[in-house]
Structure 1
Amino acid sequence: MDFATPHPEFAGRQRLLDGIDAALQSADTHSTVTQVQRVLEQAIKDPQIVLPACVHAPVHGHYARREIYRSPTHGYSIIAMTWGPGQGTPLHDHDGLWCVEGVWQGSLEITPYQMLERDGERYRFAPRDCLRGCKGSAGHLIPPDEFHTLRNSDAEQIAISVHVYQRVMERSHVFQPIDEAPRWYARECRELGLDA
């Protein structure tokens, strides 16, 4: 995406931005994230807020990431993700950023992970209970609890989620299982791109 180009306009965009901007006035990180989560839950239910048409188009081979807004004042970024049937993420972190995620359409399986230990560049994780995020639900991640996977388990329908990041998330650490060591993972840094 060319960042010189304005982000897509969409119905009710300013209502969403005003709510997030107000939430960022909270005194601490936990309060801020809780307020942003409430704003996102309300926005999903608000018929006056309609995401831009581009977010309804899946991308073959991977979930789509589209930045629909970046705040020049507060630095946060809003990413709409489009999940084709069966698409998901590997185990990953958010590069130390808090994030609020809401399901706008469809449903997602979200599995949080707890890091149990680190041995050099090997990490041991344990999955927590899988959560089913349906339309209108939202959750948040605050480091150091920032490890999870997301997946659209529907075999036919797309899912759309909206993610509000503390600032632009340009990279993420992905954790790949090490076959010979149960629950141990190797970490790799990945640059994150955007889809048109």
Structure 2
Amino acid sequence: MKRAASTAPSPARTKGSASSLRWRPGESSSWAAPEPIPALRPALLYSRCSPRVRPHARFLRAATQLLCSPPFRSVAFLRGEGAMITPQLDALVESLRAEFAGESRGKVVARLLADYASTESDWRSFAFHAPKSYTRNLVERNEHFELLILCWDEGQESPIHDHEGQDCWMGVLDGDIEEVRYDTPAEGWRGPLEPRASATFERGQVAFIRDDIALHLVRGHGGAKAVSLHLYAAPIDACSIYCPETGEISRRTLAYHSKRGELVTVQD
């Protein structure tokens, strides 16, 4: 009997030429940049089953792939208030619910996001691009966390912003995502904000940030299209944004482009 070959996680890498503003995983940094988490590929459970069980596991896997491929990928389960969610995404949400109900979060949460981002594609039913701005598409919102899919069209980027004191995880679903980090300016600061570091994350990699680490700006690497999965330790309805030229701070109310696969706004 042949044993299923194991696949080692591919090491994270930083794209582009080296510069004073670019960090690599493993390098020390005064602002404690977190190391990207490699894409994780969950083990094929049926490889440990007896020959009698394997065909059933293969059938279930094939059926799942079929239901998540066009034209079936829009098939979803109903869960509360008529909201629809696809099976793998629903499983992720339930796993996050269980994890946030306990004390431990960090590494397990990151692993859950990495497992999903590196292997699944049913998020596409919740991904909506718009030509003028990146979009915030709600997947799940409850008292413990908020899960969003952000879609980045060509040339789009977020402003420099904070996270209202919340823990924030970002997983890459499609394309490459560039994150540029800035030190939080001192109170009363007036002047340009200089980037402290930048890093690029690939599909299946997960980044982590909170306000005591840095402010950041997010965009598709090289201005290309990309899709990312964002998890906040509590829902965020507004945040502070920072002008890169003057350091001026303003408040921005956050809105959703879609909720659970249904458009709520229209952007030209």
- Give the TM-score range, shorter chain: 0.7 to 0.9
Q: Residue 106 of structure 1 aligns to which amino acid in structure 2?
A: G
Q: 1:81 to 1:102 in 2, by over 3 A?
A: same
Once residues 111 and 20 of structure 1 are traced to their aligned partners in structure 2, the CA distance between those partners, rounded to angstroms, is 27
Once residues 81 and 102 of structure 2 are traced to their aligned partners in structure 1, the CA distance between those partners, rounded to angstroms, is 31
**Displacement of 1:35:** 2.0
The TM-score, its normalising length taken from structure 1, stands at 0.80
% identical equivalent positions: 20
Q: 1:154 to 1:116 in 2, by over 3 A?
A: closer
**Displacement of 1:97:** 1.2
- 1:191 — aligned with what? 253
| C-alpha RMSD of matched pairs (Å) | 2.3
- Tell me if structure 2 keeps the 8 A contact 1:64–1:82: yes
**Displacement of 1:175:** 0.1
Match of 1:95 among 138, 144, 164: 164
Is 1:50 the counterpart of 2:122 in the alignment? yes
Deviations 1:79-102 (A, max 9, x none): 100000111011111121111110
Q: 1:24 to 1:124 in 2, by over 3 A?
A: farther
**Displacement of 1:63:** 0.2
Once residues 134 and 169 of structure 1 are traced to their aligned partners in structure 2, the CA distance between those partners, rounded to angstroms, is 25
Match of 2:132 among 61, 64, 71: 61
Is 1:13 the counterpart of 2:85 in the alignment? no
- Tell me if structure 2 keeps the 8 A contact 1:117–1:125: no
Match of 2:230 among 153, 163, 166: 163
Match of 1:134 among 202, 206, 217: 202
Once residues 189 and 139 of structure 1 are traced to their aligned partners in structure 2, the CA distance between those partners, rounded to angstroms, is 24
**Displacement of 1:32:** 1.4
Q: Residue 67 of structure 1 aligns to which amino acid in structure 2?
A: L
Q: Residue 139 of structure 1 aligns to which amino acid in structure 2?
A: A
- 2:109 — aligned with what? 36
Unpaired runs of at least 5, structure 1: 179-183
Is 1:108 the counterpart of 2:177 in the alignment? yes
Deviations 1:100-141 (A, max 9, x none): 110100011101212252227x48754222100111111111
Q: Residue 125 of structure 2 aligns to which amino acid in structure 1?
A: A
The TM-score, its normalising length taken from structure 2, stands at 0.60
Once residues 242 and 164 of structure 2 are traced to their aligned partners in structure 1, the CA distance between those partners, rounded to angstroms, is 12
Unpaired runs of at least 5, structure 2: 1-79, 258-262, 264-268
- Tell me if structure 1 keeps the 8 A contact 2:113–2:206: yes
Q: 1:14 to 1:54 in 2, by over 3 A?
A: closer
Is 1:176 the counterpart of 2:252 in the alignment? no
Structure whose alpha-carbon radius of gyration is higher: 2
Once residues 221 and 211 of structure 2 are traced to their aligned partners in structure 1, the CA distance between those partners, rounded to angstroms, is 26
Matched length: 179
Q: 1:76 to 1:7 in 2, by over 3 A?
A: farther
Deviations 1:50-102 (A, max 9, x none): 214240x311110010101113xx43110100000111011111121111110
